Chains A and B, each alone.
Chain A
Amino acid sequence: MSGAPILQVRNLCKAFPGVQALTDVRLDVAAGSVHALMGENGAGKSTLMKILCGLHTADAGEIRFKGQPIRASSPHEALRRGIAMIHQELLPFPNLSVAANIGMGREPTRWFPGWIDQAALARDATRVLARLACPLAPQRRMKDLSVAEMQTVEIAKALAYEPGLLIMDEPTSALSEREVEALFSVIRELQQRGVAIIYISHKMDEIFRIADTITVLRDGRHIATRPASELNEPQLISLMVGRDLAPTPAARDSRGDPALEVHRLTQPGKFRDVSFTLHRGEILGLAGLMGAGRTDLVNAIYGLAPASSGAIRVHGKDVKITNPAAAIAAGIGLVSEDRKQFGLVLPMSVQHNLTLSSLRGRWIDQRRERALADAQIRAFALKVTGRHQAVVHLSGGNQQKVVLAKALLTEPDILILDEPTRGIDIGAKAEIYALINRLAGAGKAVLLVSSELPELLLLSDRLLVMREGTVTAELDSHQTSQEQILIFAMPA
């Protein structure tokens, strides 16, 4: 299964202004093996991968690929040598076809240079999609696809280069069960052909299913490299975190007055006749598959895309929420699933992002703003160089904490969390779980949307399950199971 190292990394160092991202990192990846790279957000995984695929240049150290020293200076150069990467953040060309996206950069030509052979382009796309067991039509526009389908196209795009080393950064974060299975079988097929794979994921079960070897990074340093068979989950977590995680606090049993009542909320094509009640001090989970309408529902409650009919009551009073400003005024806060689109102003500083929703009055009280920002940075243990650091330079977990901290600064009574732990590491996850519990304990009403069933079962008091835009079940979290939830979530 494994052979000689196809990739050897030695003493790699990389610094960014204010951060030493990597210090003397080493990594050996054998041809035909799946090598999992683990570490908390900010541990240096992304930086290492970006250097390998030519997006960054290392300050010091050596990289050998197939025995050749390389200093890839551009993604193009890395691809030419056979290193392809599937990024966690999708980078599609939304107005081009699936085939054009897959073939981007190596379009087949005919007749004369630069004339794209559209038929061959579509043929190549179909062939590589077939290997992924994906029935997408190559002429469809990217923007019409679901996130999962786009992810599949990204994978197809990387495969089309026939790479010797394929880097996958959280490839399954938006995939359904079936699609994950298809991806794994592709990975196994690639392995047999001698392709080396570096696999980054926060999902432990995936790691232990697919990885041959595991390397752990922490704070930009190499911590350990072990065969996957010699590690178990708690051992791996303690290597990543550098300490044992405190167990998650137990659920509360108090339930207060109704805080949010939703009555027959309908948005044609998205969701219909959704009714539920959320109480003070309660965590209400919202389960369902991708496309079940959960995000559309919470966006409607928050006024991002108001529902066409139905009623919303807050603390027993009817409220009309036509935009987010009205929702904030009614005491509703939202942490969106898409933090880059709705949560953060990336070029702005941490301080300015934190206070964006909670500035009051005409003038900004600079001193108070600074104090608030510093307090939130401390309370959420944000890893930043200072409150003036632009959020674009933060790791995913820290960005997510900024979004949470920002929503909490508006002092909402009702907090809607849409996939609050997507794409963040295990340590940050534990912190966020603890925080959610604390908030509910303090009497806030929490509506939690998550695709991770264990998370929902662990945190919520009650569970709503949605399927194709309607609520199909209300379950007691303490007396149900993942299997039971899936029965209500799966299309009939």
Chain B
Amino acid sequence: MKRTIVLLLVGVLCGCGRQEAAHSGTKPITIGVSLLNLSNEFIVMLNESMAAKAKDLGVELIVNDAQGSAERQVQQVESFIAQHVDAIILNPCDVEASSPAVDKALAAGIPLVNMNSETKAAPSAFVGSRDEEAARLALEYIAKCLNGHGNVLLMNGVMGQAAQIKREAGARAVLGKFPELKVLAEQTAEWDRAKAMSLMENWIQSHGATINAVFAQNDEMAMGALLALERAKLKDKVLVVGVDAIADALQALRDGRLDATVFQDARLQGATAVETAVKLSRQQPAEKQVYIPFRLVTKDSAKNY
């Protein structure tokens, strides 16, 4: 928490300084942004917070949507390089496949900030969160509620994506500490609400009343599981926890339907990424790795979001 506030302060100060520079007529800074997928709510939030921060700082953003394709992402970065942007913010599609984009930008002498998730190639700076931590918070909450023993279902994102791998690793780490927490089944629902709903319906058929908790790697899937449980009239007996704190999930928390989610701070991530990129383009010192902490949101704390 404290670090967040410090970062915010730094950001505000830096922003003010920059605004003066912009008004005093130096060449405005241009930042190229390549986003993972603008049809994802979380990415839309990132985009909005970046736009707001850029406006504050008086810098120009060129925002491209890679629509989930790492190949398209690399092309977008190539065209940023050709346009001689001052810095690039990359919201990587893939750990491996988006790496060439990082290498190319750095080779062209343009600073590049990875936002939200990582690439294999090392960027100038990283702004994001530790996905393991989100899963750790969620599973610890489940363990606490179940007093360390019970049956858990794990709902995964698209297999092989960085977020899925890390959230699964985080969940497994907690499960290792609670031998009485048993995994009944683990399956992918590909981040999708409709697929999660079908999967949960099938799980209800095979595991029925033995289910104590569901951990879904994102809120979309958590909402799907929640709907299926509610329709089967089993929700009272099963804990459902998701990740991301999307608007729908927060509303469900406030209504007392969902049990918990993990808040990933899109606003702070987006704003910090823009600040870092601005600093790097001016060859000012910037932190190499900025981790925005996750926060567990429960029914009680939901009203604050």
Direct contact of A and B (CB under 8 A): no
A residues whose Cβ falls under 8 Å from a Cβ of B: none
B residues whose Cβ falls under 8 Å from a Cβ of A: none
